[in-house]
Structures are given as C-alpha cells and as structure tokens.
Amino acid sequence: MPDIFIKDIYELDFEILKEKNIKGILIDLDNTLLPWNSSNIDEKLTQWLLNAKQMGFKFCIISNNRASRIKECAKKLGIPAVEGIAFKPAKGVFIKGMKILGTSREETAVIGDQLFTDILGAKRMGLFAILVRPLAEKELFFTKFMRRLESRVLERFYRKKEK
C-alpha cells in the first residue's frame, strides 16, 4: 500500500517529504507526469518541477515505456531517466534510479499511478511510496485490466482502515 495517496502530483506537499528527509524522487512518466503516450509538457508541469528543484529535490524518471520516448521526455523536462533496465516492479530500475540521484533508500520517494508496478516496486525496496490517480483513461489493454485488480485491492484496504 502507498504511504500517501493524492489526486495528482500538484497536490504533493513537499514539506512532508522534507520532514521525512527525502531528497530524491523517482517518478513514473505515463499517467503520472504526462498523459499516456504524450510528450507535450505544459507550463504548469515545468513550474512544478522548477519549484521542487529549488526546494532541493532531485528527480529521475522510471518508466516501462519505449526508451526513445523516455529520453525525449527526460530531455524536455531537464531531468535524468533510467533506461534499458528491468521493468517495474523489478528492483533494478529503482536501484539504478537511486544511483543516478545519489540517494539512499531512506532518502528516496517514488511517485506513480499504478499499484502493481510503481508502488509494489517502491515498497519492495523500502522506499516512500506516493500513489496518484492516472491523468488519463487512455492506456494499454493490460494496464486497464490491472486497474480493475488495483481498485479491488484499494477498496479492501480503505475499508479495513476505516474500521
């Protein structure tokens, strides 16, 4: 389960991350930073990243998308990305991302929109996990299928939490 569940990246309270001594953020690309398969970066996202960087946070993209798209978006956003390594939730992508950021497990957070890739991978590594709602409904068929399972797991989790 995520440590925090928010609507989107713009709801993230960076002060909470500072209190937890988080210095680096591994962030998913599709439906977290940008709508699925989009490379259009708007001023709001650019400003959000700039503000976070000014607060001392470092970012690295971790994505299961095509390497060419990851590179293109990383370049446009001015942040590094993990390329050509095992897919999330495999540990390798998270380890490589932390190496790029120069952070330890205790200093690293993960932001993503999928429970079984982003959040599962983060928790397997002992990282602070932040789940956001997907930005768009357009996704791969397999991802749509996994979303149904995710919603059932989250419903059970929140019902138990309310008791």
> Could you tell me which residues come within 8 angstroms of residue 40 by beta carbon, excluding any fewer than 6 positions away?
34
In three-state secondary structure terms, 6 is strand
pLDDT tens profile 130-155: 999 888 665 555 555 565 666 766 66
What fold characterizes domain 4-136?
Rossmann fold (3.40.50)
DSSP string spanning 69-128? HHHHHHHHHT--B--SSPPTTSHHHHHHHHHHHT--GGGEEEEES-IIIIIHHHHHHT-E
Does the pLDDT value for residue 54 go beyond 90? yes
pLDDT tens profile 62-119: 998 888 889 999 999 999 999 766 688 999 999 999 999 999 999 999 999 988 889 9
Does the pLDDT value for residue 123 go beyond 70? yes
> Could you tell me which residues come within 8 angstroms of residue 156 by beta carbon, excluding any fewer than 6 positions away?
none
pLDDT, residue 144, reads 59
Q: Taking Cα atoms as reference points, which of 96, 93, 98 lies closest to residue 109? A: 98
DSSP string spanning 136-161? -S---HHHHHHHHHHHHHHHHHHHHH
For the chain, what are the domain ranges?
4-136
Please tell me the pTM assigned to this model.
Answer: 0.85
pLDDT, residue 139, reads 53
